[in-house]
Structure 1
């Protein structure tokens, strides 16, 4: 059995032997290569091949130099073109900047003119508003004097005017007859509305389930509440409504007519016409009722120019 010391010694010995063998093989390979090189140098074919290789290398060197020279010339040409384009771009940029500056000055001038025009228009509008406010205040004062006057004083001339929605068109026959139109403000015919009259119209004042009619959906139209109501219920509810509102309306003056529209069409349903004995009373009612609330609904009051109650009846 080998001791640890002997193992190390044998390992080093083998390593030295492998190294000497590698060195021997290297010397032999170098010797063989030198011998082969000597044989090649004395061989005419090899000499010719070496010369050919040298000429090829020289040709490649010259070709590379030519390519490099061509590349440098191409670069110089591109550089010249780039410098020319740079000059053109610079000139164009200066021209654009000048145009932008001109447009900016023009826009500033136009903006100043627009602001001046808007200021003048605003001043004109404010002046008109002030004049309208002063005119309205004066008219309200005359209206107040007219309402408080117990004599037979005629109303202010401003209240004698009639407002036309489309003066150039013919009169809307339905509106003329009933003071109502299914198309409302979208109607293309002319609606004449008085500024003052003995009759006031309170739109959709009276409400009742039986007046819903065709406008009610199928689901709710078949409900128990709708099926149980009768004309007697409608009459009873109307009498209660009449007693409730007439006392309030009579505070403004003597009433000679109170009519409610029993109609299921949306543009006619629940309208109430109140005819006072004097225009003064109607004016008081108009001013005091406009914008008030009844049954959680805001009242919409206007004057009516009905020619007769019989003609205002609609068959629907």
Structure 2
């Protein structure tokens, strides 16, 4: 077995020899490279090539540095632009939020002012309604005392109501107690709270008085045409029907009816009583009643001259 004990040693020896040969070959190769490099360095063409390579590397390095600087400058500019846009958007957002807050504040103030105004108007209306109710109650009490006593009318019932105080008087209303514009008239309408004359508006109506609005009456056939005799007969029937009712409130001094065809004049009936107390009774009893399918509208009148007041009696 002595041969087997020598084999590991021989393998290790061969391995070391191979290592030494490789190291020696590497040294020789490096030496040859150095010699070749030294010989190349002596060659002017190679030196020129090295210089060119060195210059090329320097140019590449400068180009890379320049490109890096440009990229960095571009990045900085982009960053500055992004920051500027961010600040601008932030300012716009803050301005929009401030505008929205101001708008909400203004809306809240307007709403509060509107509610305050509505509350003020409601309170004013309630005060006005309360005052009107109190005045109406006082008027009712005055009316009751006046109707149940024999004395003169109290001062509260002697007042004159004006539609537009301070404005010019409506001449037509002052003369006839009628106006084509009614409550919308720009002038002042004055009427008494108590008088011995009442006016029942559109009390007497007849087709002949409405022919200006209903042309079929004027264009009717001869056998159907209305005449003055028809109007007179209708008025006599109307007179005989209402006079007993009106006389039940007191002694009548005058009973006059307007036959004018204008809308704001036709059919008005003026009833003049001898006493104001009788006129007040008629006013209370007739107001709101129905006659011939129409609800009666009664007012006190201040007619002084019948000739100038009644147009077309």
Give 1:18-33 correspondences, 5 Å limit.
none
Structure 1 equivalent of residue 230 of structure 2? 233
Structure 2 equivalent of residue 119 of structure 1? 119
Structure 1 equivalent of residue 265 of structure 2? 268
CA displacement, residues 104-151 of structure 1 (integer Å, 9 cap, x when unaligned) = 3454355445534543443343233212212211211221221232x1
Whole-Å separation in 2 of the counterparts to 1:98 and 1:229: 78
Whole-Å separation in 1 of the counterparts to 2:125 and 2:270: 37
Say which of 151, 159, 162 aligns to 1:161: 159
Say which of 296, 299, 302 aligns to 1:299: 296
Structure 1 equivalent of residue 210 of structure 2? 212
Structure 1 equivalent of residue 97 of structure 2? 97
Quickly say closer, same or farther: Cα 1:154–1:99, change in 2 above 3 A: same
- Contact between 2:200 and 2:298, CA under 8 Å: does it hold in 1? yes
Structure 1 equivalent of residue 133 of structure 2? 133
Q: Decide which structure has the larger Cα Rg and report it.
A: 2
Alignment pair present for 1:311 and 2:287: no
- Contact between 1:209 and 1:226, CA under 8 Å: does it hold in 2? no
- Contact between 2:217 and 2:225, CA under 8 Å: does it hold in 1? no
Deviation at 1:200, TM superposition (A): 0.5
Deviation at 1:206, TM superposition (A): 0.5
- Contact between 1:213 and 1:265, CA under 8 Å: does it hold in 2? no
CA displacement, residues 188-228 of structure 1 (integer Å, 9 cap, x when unaligned) = 443321111111101111011222243332x4421248853
Quickly say closer, same or farther: Cα 1:128–1:234, change in 2 above 3 A: closer
Structure 2 equivalent of residue 108 of structure 1? 108
Quickly say closer, same or farther: Cα 1:84–1:132, change in 2 above 3 A: same
| TM-score, length-scaled by structure 2 | 0.67
Structure 2 equivalent of residue 244 of structure 1? 241
| TM-score, length-scaled by structure 1 | 0.67
Listed as ranges, the gaps of 5+ residues in structure 2 are: 1-69
Structure 2 equivalent of residue 174 of structure 1? 172
Deviation at 1:169, TM superposition (A): 4.4
Structure 1 consecutive aligned stretches of length 4 or more whose deviation exceeds 6 Å: 70-76
- Contact between 1:210 and 1:226, CA under 8 Å: does it hold in 2? no
Give 1:142-153 correspondences, 5 Å limit.
142-149=142-149, 151=150, 153=151
CA displacement, residues 82-107 of structure 1 (integer Å, 9 cap, x when unaligned) = 34302321233134324533553454
